[in-house]
C-alpha cells in the first residue's frame, strides 16, 4: 500500500523538475531506466500520482483574493446546496464537515469588493441558513505534499 524511499525520491524529483523525462530521472536517481518507468506506472496505477496536470495560480488569473466560508445548511438541503455551489466558478473546493458548520468551501475573488458578489451568489440560496467567512491574508505554507511523501516513504 505504501511507497518506499525510491518512490519518494522519484516524486520529489518530479515535483521539483517536472520537465525531466524518464531517462533523465533514471540518471539522477542512479537506477535503471526500466525501474523508473515501472515505478511511475505503479504510482499512477495505485492512484498515488493522479497525473501531471497544469498547476494554475488563481492570483495570476486575476483572482488574488482567497477566502474560506463555513456554511450552515438547512436539514435535507445538502444535495441541493452542493449542486448550487458546483455551478459557481469561484468555488474552488467544497467539503462537508463535522463541527460548527456543515460545509466548508474555498472561494476566490477579483478583489475584496468582488468577494462580496461571490459570497452573495454563494449564500443566495434557500438551503443555506448562515455563512461565516474568513478572508485569507497571508499563506505561510502553500499547498504542499512533499513533506508528507517523505514521511510516507520513511514509514515504508
Q: What part of residues 19-58 is at the interface with DNA (CB under 7 A)?
A: 19, 21-24, 31-35, 37-39, 42
Number of residues that bind DNA (CB under 7 A): 15
Closest CA to 149 of 26, 31, 9: 9
Phi and psi (nearest 5°) for 104?
-135, 130
Which option in DNA, its own copies, none does residue 32 bind, with CB closer than 5 to 8 A by kind?
Answer: DNA
The residue (of 18 and 62) whose beta carbon lies closer to DNA is 18
Which cell numbers hold the place of 3?
Answer: 511507497
**Which triple of cell numbers denotes residue 34?**
526500466
Nearer to its own copies, 88 or 129 (CB): 88
Could you say which of DNA, its own copies, none residue 80 binds, taking C-beta under 5 to 8 angstroms by partner kind?
none
Q: Please return the burial class of 106, using the count of CB atoms within 10 Å of its CB with bins 0-12, 13-18 and 19+.
A: middle
The single residue among 21, 30, 60, 124 that binds its own copies, judged by CB under 8 A, is 60
Amino acid at each position: 500500500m505504501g511507497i518506499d524511499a525510491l518512490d519518494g525520491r522519484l516524486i520529489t524529483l518530479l515535483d521539483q523538475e517536472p520537465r525531466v523525462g524518464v531517462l533523465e530521472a533514471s540518471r539522477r536517481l542512479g537506477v535503471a531506466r526500466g525501474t523508473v518507468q515501472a515505478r511511475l506506472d505503479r504510482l499512477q496505477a495505485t492512484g498515488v500520482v493522479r497525473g501531471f496536470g497544469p498547476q494554475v495560480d488563481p492570483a495570476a488569473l486575476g483572482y488574488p483574493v482567497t477566502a474560506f466560508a463555513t456554511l450552515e445548511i438547512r436539514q435535507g438541503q445538502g444535495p441541493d446546496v452542493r449542486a448550487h455551489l458546483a455551478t459557481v466558478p469561484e468555488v474552488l473546493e467544497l467539503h462537508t464537515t463535522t463541527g460548527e458548520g456543515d460545509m466548508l468551501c474555498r472561494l476566490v475573488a477579483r478583489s475584496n469588493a468582488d468577494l462580496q458578489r461571490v459570497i452573495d451568489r454563494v449564500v443566495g440560496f434557500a438551503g443555506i441558513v448562515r455563512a461565516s467567512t474568513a478572508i485569507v491574508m497571508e499563506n505561510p505554507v502553500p499547498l504542499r505534499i512533499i513533506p508528507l511523501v517523505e514521511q510516507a516513504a520513511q514509514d515504508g
